[in-house]
Amino acid sequence: TIRDAILAGLRAAPKKMQLPPPDHLPLVGRRAIITAGPTHEPIDPVRFLGNRSSGLQGYAIAGALSRLGANVTLISGPTSLEFPRGVNGARVETAEEMRSATLAALPADIVVCAAAVADWRVDHATNSKIKKQPGQSPPVLTLVPNPDILAEISAVGPERPRLVIGFAAETDDVEENAIAKRARKGCDWIVANDVSTGTNVMGGPQNRAILITEAGVERWPRMPKDELASRLAERIAEQFTDDAPIAAKKTP
């Protein structure tokens, strides 16, 4: 099989290539798409609506899947992070751009929507800076809904990835909201985080996740984001044992 050929090649590769140890590459031959970071929705050339997201968790997941052998495309909103080694990275700004880049990267076996996509954008962004006029009222921002990338990927038809994972950043009723989100989006798993003020999850080095799957609710302990990423990657790999990869990238 293709998988066997790749594994054989990796075993034969010289050490100095610094590839991951070839004895644990359960995701070789699998394609994964990860979205990460925030989106910025322009109001005018200098102002935008943004989401607080460092991108740390999504980047860590991209790196962890890559280390398990997956072919990883990371579609990132504005962050100050470098792409993990071995990962194909693409930078976008808005939810619309993130949607286009994600759909263009299909088909895939695994999609992890870790980005904090803005739910709304400003109806008409202007090309000129809105001037603050002394004595005048501030502008009114009319918002319109952004595309729902997670729901769209979950319902994409014949190309639907076998495992679609969404994230839920919640401040209240974390578990209940995450279970409802899984049903509403049609995705397979939800990784839910409590991002209330004081948890220091957003931008911080640690995370505490609740994993919602078809089988139920797993409450994971607080751990570094890198560790959470590795654990999630292993959990993903378990879903792909003993069968052949389904998705090959369309030739352009």
Catalytic site positions: 51
What x-and-dash track marks residues 192-231 binding a copy of itself by CB under 8 A? ---xxx----x-----------------------------
Least Cα distance to 125 among 161, 83, 93, 91 occurs for 93
Least Cα distance to 68 among 26, 33, 108, 110 occurs for 26
CB of 138 to a copy of itself, least distance (A): 4
Residue tagged 């140890």 (tokens): 21
End-to-end CA distance of the chain: 24
One-letter amino acid for residue 115 of the chain: A
Nearer to a copy of itself, 168 or 237 (CB): 168
Cα gap 33→10, rounded to integer Å? 22
Cα gap 234→229, rounded to integer Å? 9
Nearer to a copy of itself, 98 or 163 (CB): 98
DSSP annotation of 38 reads B
Nearer to a copy of itself, 69 or 166 (CB): 166
CB of 6 to a copy of itself, least distance (A): 37
Structure tokens at 39: 């989106």
* Per CB under 8 A, 2 contacts a copy of itself: no
Q: Which stretch binds a copy of itself (CB under 8 A): 49-57, 61-69, 208-216, 219-227?
A: 49-57
Nearer to a copy of itself, 118 or 210 (CB): 118
Among 56, 116, 163, 192, binds a copy of itself (CB under 8 A): 116
CB of 160 to a copy of itself, least distance (A): 21
Least Cα distance to 245 among 71, 76, 94, 23 occurs for 71
Cα gap 51→237, rounded to integer Å? 30
Positions that interact with a copy of itself (CB under 8 A): 40, 43, 45-53, 80, 116, 118-120, 127-129, 131-132, 134, 138-145, 169-172, 177, 184, 195-197, 202
